[in-house]
Amino acid sequence: ARQERLRSTSGPGSTADGHQVALYANIGGAKDLLGDVEGVGLFRTELLYLDRTDAPSFDDQVAAYTEVFAALPGRKVVVRTLDAGADKPLPFLSQSDEPNPALGVRGLRISWRRPDVLETQLKAIAAAAKAASAEVWVMAPMVATPQEAATFVAACRAAGLPTAGAMVEIPAAALRAGALLAEVDFLSIGTNDLSQYTFASDRQVGELAELLDPWQPALLELIAMCASAGKAAGKPVGVCGEAAADPALAVVLTGLGITSLSMAARSIPAVREALAARTLEECQRLAHAALTAETAEAARAAAR
Ligand code: PEP
Ligand code: MG
């Protein structure tokens, strides 16, 4: 029965001594909800609209979000507002003439010139949440400052969405995690973009893989800062980038104080198994070893 439970995608993870870590799925729509999951830690809503040349209507959006929420009665679903631009351009939103799209008007920044798009999306999420019984949280991608976070939270509250958070994908946000947490209900670290911006390395350039390695101690240090700030504020700080799917790294993240890990559903069983094999104190010791290593390679070896 224990083996069966460890192989499952559903239910929270737990260290050998019972410290719980939520294990969520990353999805791009209802089609990705394969198997039973504890919840969704990252619903990438922009993936629903990659091919569209016109903005999805309020009704289109309500239907798409309701399909997801209805499949997860009573479960948590963290919905990310449209992260358009750079590696995920949306024809109806993204500007094609930017010299550096990854550093341009993308993610939450698009709401500066198109507040209507964010407003419509938040209203659609709220309407869908009302129609289904999932526990819906919302978060914004590409938040750089506490002021941006505060503006986003106000828009969420105005739309009737009580729980609002920020993704930490920009080093400035990690450096000011405490100030960010004063504005939001939770943080979710997107390690894919946080690596990209910390190491000035385009995530789409394979030649830069070494710099983009999620075991890079500088990245771990930014994650540790967020986790400490979360602990001090008494608010959840999760990881929803690819780093969360690496079982050995999941142990380190847990040791750093991360409260939830969100990944492709198929990765959940291996992460669950890795956590179950360590006590919280062991996770903390391995986290310290990785954090104080000099290279990504050394960090990986130290955590073994
Ligand atoms: C990330 O940047 O780590 C993340 C989870 O978002 P995306 O991969 O969709 O940019
Ligand atoms: Mg991202």
For residue 24, the SS3 value is: strand
Distance CA 37, CA 30 (A): 12
Which residue carries 């142990």 as its tokens? 251
Confirm or deny that 157 is annotated as ligand binding.
no
Query: Which atom of ligand 1 sits closest to the CA of residue 192?
Result: 3
Distance CA 276, CA 205 (A): 35
Instruction: Give yes or no for a contact between 134 and 72, defined as CB atoms under 8 angstroms apart.
Output: yes
Q: State the pLDDT at residue 5.
A: 77
Which residue carries 């996770």 as its tokens? 283
Tell me which residue has its CA closest to atom 9 in ligand 1.
44
- CA Rg, the chain, in Å? 18
Q: State the pLDDT at residue 304.
A: 87
Distance CA 21, CA 91 (A): 38
Confirm or deny that 119 is annotated as ligand binding.
no
Quote the Cα angle for 147-169-13, to 5°: 115
Binding pocket residue ranges, ligand 1, CB within 6 Å: 42, 44, 83, 169, 190-193, 240-241
Out of 50, 83, 187, mutate this one to test ligand 1's pocket (max ligand atoms within 8 Å of CB): namely 83
Q: State the pLDDT at residue 105.
A: 95
Quote the Cα angle for 277-11-233, to 5°: 85
Has 226 been annotated as catalytic?
no
The one-digit pLDDT tens for each residue of the chain (304 residues) are: 778 878 888 888 999 999 999 999 999 999 998 788 999 999 999 999 999 999 999 999 999 999 999 999 999 999 999 999 888 889 898 777 899 999 999 999 999 999 999 999 999 999 999 999 899 999 999 999 999 999 999 999 999 999 999 999 999 999 999 999 999 999 999 999 999 999 999 999 999 999 999 999 999 999 999 999 999 999 999 999 999 999 999 999 999 999 999 999 999 999 999 999 999 999 999 999 999 999 999 999 999 8
Give how far Cα 261 sits from Cα of 43, 97, 302, Å: 14, 36, 21
Query: Which atom of ligand 1 sits closest to the CA of residue 240?
Result: 5
| ipTM value for the complex | 0.99
Q: What is 99-111 written as a DSSP string?
A: SSGGGSS-GGGHH
Instruction: Give yes or no for a contact between 257 and 227, defined as CB atoms under 8 angstroms apart.
Output: yes
Confirm or deny that 109 is annotated as ligand binding.
no
Query: Which atom of ligand 1 sits closest to the CA of residue 241?
Result: 3
